[in-house]
Every structure is written in C-alpha cells, then in structure tokens.
C-alpha cells in the first residue's frame, strides 16, 4: 500500500506563475478592498464590480502556466498516494497533472446559482449581470467568500488525519478554517513547510522548514521523498 502525502497549498505556489497573491500588505487585492469583492456584503452592494473582478481573474489564470513547483508535486504520484488541498481558486495543479485536487475556497472556472448553491456550472467565459440559472437566480462565481461556510473542510480533515507526510507550501495558514488543518495531523506524520516567510505554526516533532520560494523548496522535498522510497 502506498504511503499518503497531503499537500496544503496557498497563493505562494501560484505567484511564481504570475497570479496575484490574495492580498498585499495594505489589505488590497488588485486595488480593491477585499471585502468589496470577496464577501456576501460586497456582492449585495455591487454585483457588477464583483463579476468584473472575477472575470479579470479568470482571464489572468488562462494566460499563465503551471510552474516547476506544480509539476514537481505530480512526480510524487509515482510512489505515493497524493492529495492536494489548495486554498487557490486557479486550476494550475490540475493543469500540471495532479489527479486528486480539493479546492477549499472554490474554483475560478466554475460558477453557481446565487440562490441555490447546489447548481454549479463550468465557467470559462465572463459572467455578466443578467446571467441567470434555471431557477431564475443571478449566476455568481463559485468562490467561497469571507463569512461563508467552507464545505470541503469536511473532506479535507480526514485526508490530513491519514497522511504520512504533509507538505505546506505558499500559505501562512493564517485564515480559518484552513489554519486549523495541521491540528488534525497524525503525531507521527512528517511535516514540510515551504515559504519565503515561514509562517508561525505550532511546530510538532518531525517538522522541517524550507525558507525559500515554492519551486526551489518543493524540488528539494520531492527529491528527498522519492529517494526515500528507493532505499
């Protein structure tokens, strides 16, 4: 039976592909206050602004490619059962070839009904004001905004509990509920953390820090873990 690896990824891994990180030091995202474009309140206040914002994010994501970190993680599937739990809404992990990707915060290339969250649709084109679902509700991005439930946490926590190895890359793990994921780690799991600014985490035994960008840190970890299986 293959050992299990869970990768918890955040904006830092996609930044090397040219996708803007979620927010800068001023609390802005592409010049917008986050709550204007990533909250139910912002949606109620100005749906056109929110739709335009995500239409631009979608175009940006289509214009970039997976980077070395995304591609190196796929190599681990030769020897391990690998699950990616990502806070990113882009599809770069999938485009790199990862087979098991769980999106915590929704997907940029999906839309859903604003009145029935069970109605989810593929989305590669712009969403416009007046685009409605079969039930007559405005279509919105299938993104989990601040203040909304994160339903996929219920799927993520069992994966973390069963993991032999956990790789945390490109995320500060500062935003809940994702911030709590390492609390579910098996006490014997080996944890690897990759980020130029190492996040504060409750460091367990068998935790290894790589204070560098995603591509270089992931390359080292992948080499280590693949070598380990060949001994």
Same domain flag for 56 and 127 = yes
DSSP, residue by residue, 202-221: -PPTTEEEE-S-HHHHHHHH
Q: State residue 25's pLDDT score.
A: 47
Q: Considering the candidates 70, 83, 93, 105, report the single residue annotated as catalytic.
A: 105
Same domain flag for 188 and 202 = yes
Half-sphere exposure of 154 (CA within 13 A, CB side): 3
Residue 231 has pLDDT above 50, yes or no: no
Question: What are the tens digits of pLDDT across the range 21-71?
Answer: 655 545 556 677 888 999 999 999 999 999 999 999 999 999 999 999 999
Give me the mean pLDDT over the 118-139 stretch: 96
Same domain flag for 135 and 206 = no
Q: Is 137 a catalytic residue?
A: no
User: What value does the mean pLDDT of the chain take?
Assistant: 90
| Whether the bond into 218 is cis, omega within 30 of 0 | no
Residue 222 has pLDDT above 60, yes or no: yes
Q: State residue 32's pLDDT score.
A: 73
Same domain flag for 126 and 154 = no
Residues in the chain, total: 231
Question: What are the tens digits of pLDDT across the range 1-26?
Answer: 899 999 999 989 999 999 876 555 45
Same domain flag for 128 and 114 = yes
In which domain, by residue range, is 171 found?
1-18+66-105+150-231
Same domain flag for 189 and 91 = yes
Question: What are the tens digits of pLDDT across the range 77-107?
Answer: 999 999 999 999 999 999 999 999 999 999 9
Same domain flag for 81 and 100 = yes
Give me the mean pLDDT over the 122-137 stretch: 96
131 exposed, middle or buried (CB, 10 Å; 0-12, 13-18, 19+)?
middle
Same domain flag for 53 and 1 = no
Residue 223 has pLDDT above 50, yes or no: yes
Q: What are phi and psi of 211, to 5 degrees?
A: -85, 75
Residue 125 to residue 111: CA distance in whole angstroms? 10
Same domain flag for 115 and 213 = no
Q: How confident is the model at residue 158 (pLDDT cuts 50, 70, 90)?
A: very high
Residue 203 to residue 187: CA distance in whole angstroms? 11
Report the DSSP pairing between strands 120-122 and 106-113: antiparallel
Within 10 A of 2 (CB to CB), how many other CB atoms are there? Answer: 12
Per the structure, how many domains does the chain have? 2
Q: State residue 80's pLDDT score.
A: 97
Q: How confident is the model at residue 185 (pLDDT cuts 50, 70, 90)?
A: very high
Q: Which two tokens stand for residue 174?
A: 């500062």
Give me the mean pLDDT over the 147-158 stretch: 94
Within 10 A of 38 (CB to CB), how many other CB atoms are there? Answer: 24
CATH at residue 4: 3.40.50.1220
Same domain flag for 35 and 99 = no
Torsion sign over Cα 156, 160, 162, 165: positive
| Exposure string for 135-144, b = 16+ CB within 10 A, e = fewer | eeebbbbbbb
């Amino acid at each position: 039976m293959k050992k299990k690896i869970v990768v918890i990824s955040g904006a830092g891994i996609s930044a090397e592909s040219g996708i803007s990180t979620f927010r800068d030091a001023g609390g802005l995202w592409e010049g917008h206050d986050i709550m204007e474009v990533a909250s139910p309140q912002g949606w109620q206040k100005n749906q056109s602004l929110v739709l335009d914002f995500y239409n631009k994010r979608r175009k940006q994501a289509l214009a970039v490619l997976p980077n070395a970190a995304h591609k190196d993680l796929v190599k681990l599937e030769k020897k391990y059962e690998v699950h990616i739990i990502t806070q990113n809404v882009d599809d770069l992990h999938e485009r790199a070839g990862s087979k098991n990707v769980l999106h915590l915060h929704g997907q940029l290339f999906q839309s859903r009904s604003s009145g029935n969250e069970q109605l989810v649709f593929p989305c590669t084109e712009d969403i416009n004001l007046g685009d409605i679902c079969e039930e007559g509700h405005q279509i919105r991005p299938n993104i989990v905004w601040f203040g909304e439930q994160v339903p996929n946490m219920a799927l993520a926590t069992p994966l973390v509990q069963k993991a032999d190895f956990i790789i945390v890359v490109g995320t500060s793990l500062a935003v809940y509920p994702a911030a709590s994921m390492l609390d579910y780690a098996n006490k014997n799991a080996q944890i690897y953390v990759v980020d130029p600014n190492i996040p504060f985490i409750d460091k367990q035994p068998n935790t290894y820090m790589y204070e560098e960008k995603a591509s270089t840190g992931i390359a080292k970890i992948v080499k280590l873990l693949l070598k380990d299986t060949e001994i």
